[in-house]
A and B are shown apart, each in its own frame.
Chain A
Amino acid sequence: MARISASVYTSHVPAIGAAIDLGKTAEPYWAPLFAGYEPSKAWLKANTPDVIFLVFNDHATAFSLEIVPTFAIGVAAQYLPADEGYGARPVPKVIGHPELASHIAQSVIQDDFDLTIVNRMDVDHGLTVPLSLMCGQPAAWPCPVIPFAVNVVLYPVPSGNRCFQLGRAIRKAVASYDQNLRVQIWGTGGMSHQLHGPRAGLINREFDHAFLDQLIADPAGLARKPHVEYMREAGAEAVELVMWLIARGAMDDAEPGGEAPHVRHRFYHVPASNTAVGHLILENR
């Protein structure tokens, strides 16, 4: 039987990818940020899963305005790093897990979540930057990855509660898979940031810390936070944080009687380019 062993949460700022690719991680601007991920890299080495289910959003890369799926699951054998306008990032291609992805899709759709099935998709910084932060610059990523894209670009985006409930359905789907696999679920994006308009550059540390606290201790309560609160308090683009609730909903304690997870690591840093970077590792017991 497959099982979700842990969840990882991290921002996915494109400039972080550029800093890694251009060898700038030791520069004074970037060093404190990357230092915060050193324990995470060691943790992932010691706890490499068989599959990573990676929740991210596409930033007008694979999906133009022609088709905007709210939830899209990748069932392909592999995914190439996208050219986002600066040339593709020099990172390994992403190997998928078509069997588990198809199993999850079939289970979750029958559980009332209408996913879009994706057989071909180039993956942008939303997916590759978290991998780089957690793995550094390996010749190949440590395990197969199932990309799960959420629309957080075109409003309305799915509600926090919808995301949290979807996480629960994903947990159930994983648990019904016959092979013995250790699966991690990663939620990415956020934290505070606004990238457009005269209010660009907004950072709200209090909001971010309160979000991290509540994500750990009271995720079901956090799932009731309305979109407008994210957008008003932490910047229009901070609404990406609803994606963290998918990963959080897949943890054991989202079910009645489930044990609360261990907090393995917590980190927060301002800024990376325009954005506040938040990071958590939660392990099921």
Chain B
Amino acid sequence: MALDKPYLDIPGTTIFDLDESRKGYWLNQFCMSLMKAENRARYKANECAYLEEWPMTEEQKQAVMARDLNRCVASGGNIYFLGKIGAADGRSFQYMAGSMTGMSEEAYRKMMIDGGRSIEGNRTIVEKK
């Protein structure tokens, strides 16, 4: 019998469960490697070559190169791991989160100061439509 996953209908959201984790294992482990200063330096010197050292899918590598965090999440990335890519780029967490919403950095920052994104219309995929 399939497991109950009552969170699959939350719009614009991917819950990082064990299926996602299995899919994204090497992508997330690559991100983890950027915690070490010497790895960050090698990665920044030659991103492509560094990514080739990891058994990631082509889609995962392309998503990282494009800094497209939504694509990274879709291929099993978790935001706390993906945050290491942004840290290596010197980006804040707010920049990274905002980059996934389709909003400009300024508009996202302003939305947060104004109290954040409303829950109304954002509970379920059905409600969203």
Contact = CB atoms under 8 A, between A and B. Distances in A.
Interface of A: 14-15, 29, 59-61, 64-66, 83-86, 153-156, 192, 194-207, 226-228, 231-234, 236-237, 270-271, 273-274, 276
A200 B92 contact: no
A198 B69 CA distance: 10
A155 B116 CA distance: 25
23 contacts: A15-B94, A60-B32, A65-B28, A83-B35, A85-B34, A154-B16, A194-B13, A196-B13, A196-B14, A196-B82, A197-B12, A197-B70, A197-B100, A201-B97, A202-B119, A203-B117, A206-B119, A231-B13, A234-B119, A236-B13, A237-B79, A270-B116, A273-B93
B87 A59 contact: no
Interface string B3-21: 0001100111111111001
A60 B15 contact: no
B94 A155 contact: no
Contact of A60 (B12, B17, B84, B115): B84
A275 to B, nearest CB: 9
A205 B115 contact: yes
A154 B32 contact: no
Nearest to A226: B6
A84 B93 contact: no
Given A199-B13, A201-B117, 19 more contacts: A15-B92, A15-B94, A64-B32, A65-B28, A85-B34, A154-B16, A192-B116, A194-B97, A196-B14, A199-B122, A200-B12, A200-B97, A200-B98, A201-B98, A202-B122, A203-B115, A203-B118, A270-B112, A274-B93
Contacts of B117: 194, 199-203
Interface in B100-129: 100-102, 108, 111-113, 115-119, 122-124
Contacts of B1: none
A200 B96 CA distance: 10
A270 B119 CA distance: 15
Given A197-B100, A274-B112, A231 B15 contact: yes
Contacts of B13: 194, 196-197, 199, 231, 236
